[in-house]
Amino acid sequence: MFVLDESISVSNTEYKQSLTWINNVLAPFKLDIDADNVRVGVVGFSNKDYSDTSVRIPLQKQSASTLTGSITELINTRKRGSTYIGFGITIAGYELMDKQRKDIPNIMIVITDGVATDATTDIESAVKDAGKLGAKMIAVGIGQTNAQQLELIAGSKTRVHHVSNYKQLPTLVSSVDKQIAESCK
């Protein structure tokens, strides 16, 4: 499950770069997606309401090519607002709760370019609830983020990835792919 920052600070070009990055991260898992061994969902977050922060792509069986196309098309549906990271994680947790499959690892990758608008306690609560669902967290920070918030989300520094700008996201593909694969063991 990808939890994607759609806040006002993310330009359309940067948002497209984040969508391309998600597709690149998923590329090694295409056969598993087609075989329904892996399901991928995307939650876009900005404001603390259900119209601006919601499931953009639900966790469901779909082909890798359909998924890739759906991710690319998100540029047409994004919302813009604040950076309610905790609320985004909560919405992703609801999707996991409703659609998780027994004995299949749940991985939540939070991608943000900013500092959360919501309180640290809201993020802590959302991460704790996601953990109860078995979600293994990975945090991806872009630019001037709050390192403590990213570590809080990920649970440890080793699960935090950071780049200076969106153009550098491709440098994180292999390390995140490796972490996804390790989390599935």
pTM: 0.96
Greater confidence (184 vs 176) lies with 176
Taking the domains of the chain in order of start, what are their residue ranges? Answer: 2-180
Per-residue pLDDT reduced to its tens digit, 8-36: 999 999 999 999 999 999 999 999 999 99
> Of 112, 106, 93, 107, whose CA–CA distance to 45 is shortest?
112
CA atoms within 13 A on the CB side of 162: 15
Q: What is the pLDDT of residue 29?
A: 95
Fold of the CATH domain 2-180: Rossmann fold (3.40.50)
Per-residue pLDDT reduced to its tens digit, 102-135: 888 999 999 999 899 999 999 999 999 999 999 9
Give the integer Cα–Cα distance in Å for 13 and 18: 9
